[in-house]
Structure formats: C-alpha cells, structure tokens
Structure 1
C-alpha cells in the first residue's frame, strides 16, 4: 500500500507540474497573440481553440488528485465541525470512497465521449485553420482517473487503519 501511495504521489507531482507548465505556456501564447495582433495586425492562428481545448484542460483536470492529496480542495464543513474527532475521521474516510466512485463514473463517461471524438476526428475551424481537438478529451479522462485512483487508495488506507485500530483496542480490553 505504501508503495502505491508513493507512486501516486510522484505521479501527482508530475501532472501538477504539467498543469503549471500549461498555465505558463498559455500566458506566453496569449501574450504573443496580443503582440502579433497589435504589431503586425495578424493574430496567431488557433489561439482561442488551443487555450480552451488544451491549456485550460491540462491546468484544471490533471492536478485534481494533487489538490486532494494536499487537502487544497474546497470543503464545506457546516455539520461535521460539530462531530467528534473520531466521527469526522470516519466521514472523511468514507467521503474518499464517494469521491473516487464519482471520479470513476466521470472517467467512464468522458472516455466514451473521447473515443467517439477520436473516431470522428473532432476538430475546430478557426479562421482558415483546422485544429484537431479530439486528443483534448482524453485529458479529462486522465485527470478524473488519477483522482479516482488517489481517493480509492486513501479509502483503502482509511479502512486498513481502522481495522488495525479496532484490533489494537480489542487487544487492550
């Protein structure tokens, strides 16, 4: 289990770096587009499509698991703050299973769409240029799959720790 946790933590760091790189490249691309538009009266072809279908998806979906790993995601704790520490721990543990299952459902549905777009060779016309967009649909699949794997791993870790803690408590009784 520890080996899998270390592996997924490393993968999370790599894909989060790619997300940050996508943001940096997006800023450079948009800046160059603006400069080309104002200096040469010729914008870079496909900027809007590339930003919307590639940079944004990489920046948003690939780092989802890292956000969960670092507890950086938004949490609404209206009720749970009133629970005991043990109850909060249990709710958090089972929440990982729900998030993981939801992420896998999203992955499955997104994969169906990605395959359909791959087979139809989905692209976008922007000006005189055709920009292939079907690969971008697999980015969502990768991000949600990684999130699902991470959450299920956290849930399994929660379950095994809970079982060990219960066994230790019973041994001391």
Structure 2
C-alpha cells in the first residue's frame, strides 16, 4: 500500500496546487473586474459566471483528496475519544466504508452528468458564453480519489480492529 499512498499524496498535492492557482486566477479576475468597473466603467465580461462555474467548484472539489489524507475533515470526537481502541477502530471502519460508499454514489451521478455536459458541449450565457462542461469532471475525479483514500483508511482501521486485543 505504500505505493498507492505515495501516488494519492502526490495527486492530492497536485490538486491542491491547481486549486491554489484557481484561487489566484479568481482573485486577479475579480480585482480586474472591480477595477474595470470603477475606473473605466467596463467590467470584465461574464466574471460572475466564470467565478461561479469555474473557480468556486475547483476550490471546493479539488482539495478533497488532500483534506482526507491529512485527516482535516470536520469531526466531532466527544464520544470517540472516550472509547476503547477496539471500539474506535470499529467506528473508523464503519465511517470509512460509509463515506466511501456515499462518495461512490456521488461520483457515479457526477460522472453521468459530466458525460452529458460533455456530449452537449455545455456552457452558460453571460455577457459572453462560458464553457462549463470541463469543470463537471472535477467532482468525479476528486471524489473518486477521495473514495479510495477512505477505503484505504477503512482497511487500515480493520487491520487495527483485528490486531487490537481485549484488554
């Protein structure tokens, strides 16, 4: 599993860098739009559509893998911290499998939507047309990789569960 861990970590880092680049591009675009509006009475065309359809989904979905790998997702540990190690491992198995299954369904639906958007050449109309079909693949890509992370975490928790003795 170390090879898959290395691969997932590198893909997670790559997606974080891409999300960071999207953040910088969004900031530049919004600043240019505001400056154009204030100083020249000419905003950048379709800024709202581009931010909503491109930059925001990239910022939401692309970091999912890295967040899962680092364990930085939201967790409420009030009861979990008081459980014995065996019960914690059982909870980790259940949570990892449940979230992986959930992500599997989400990715399946998102993949079908992405393929339909690609087939139609999906775009939105603003001041200029904004092509949106490529961004539809971000969720199935990032979600699928995140699903693999949670499956691996569930497997490791299962190994802990089997390896922990009654004490």
CA distance in 2, matches of 1:157, 1:71: 14
Q: C-alpha displacement at 1:156, in angstroms?
A: 2.2
Query: Could you say what secondary structure the match of 2:90 adopts?
Result: helix
4+ runs of 1 displaced by more than 6 Å?
none
Aligned match of 1:143: 142
Instruction: Give the TM-score normalised by structure 1.
Output: 0.87
Aligned match of 1:21: 21
Aligned match of 1:98: 98
Query: Could you say what secondary structure the match of 1:8 adopts?
Result: helix
Aligned match of 1:4: 4
1:47 is the counterpart of 2:21:
no
Does the Cα contact within 8 Å between 2:89 and 2:158 map onto a contact in 1?
Answer: no
Q: Structure 2 regions of 5+ residues with no counterpart? A: none
Aligned match of 1:159: 158
CA distance in 2, matches of 1:161, 1:89: 6
CA distance in 2, matches of 1:3, 1:81: 31
CA distance in 1, matches of 2:89, 2:23: 35
1:84 is the counterpart of 2:84:
yes
Q: C-alpha displacement at 1:35, in angstroms?
A: 0.6
Does the Cα contact within 8 Å between 2:53 and 2:135 map onto a contact in 1?
Answer: yes
CA distance in 1, matches of 2:101, 2:124: 32
Q: C-alpha displacement at 1:161, in angstroms?
A: 4.5
CA distance in 2, matches of 1:157, 1:86: 13
Instruction: Give the TM-score normalised by structure 2.
Output: 0.90
* CA 161–6 in structure 1, closer or farther in 2 if over 3 Å, else same: farther
Map 1:45-84 onto structure 2 (within 5 A): 45-84=45-84
Q: C-alpha displacement at 1:162, in angstroms?
A: 4.1
Q: C-alpha displacement at 1:160, in angstroms?
A: 3.7
CA distance in 1, matches of 2:88, 2:160: 15
Aligned match of 2:118: 118
CA distance in 2, matches of 1:130, 1:46: 8
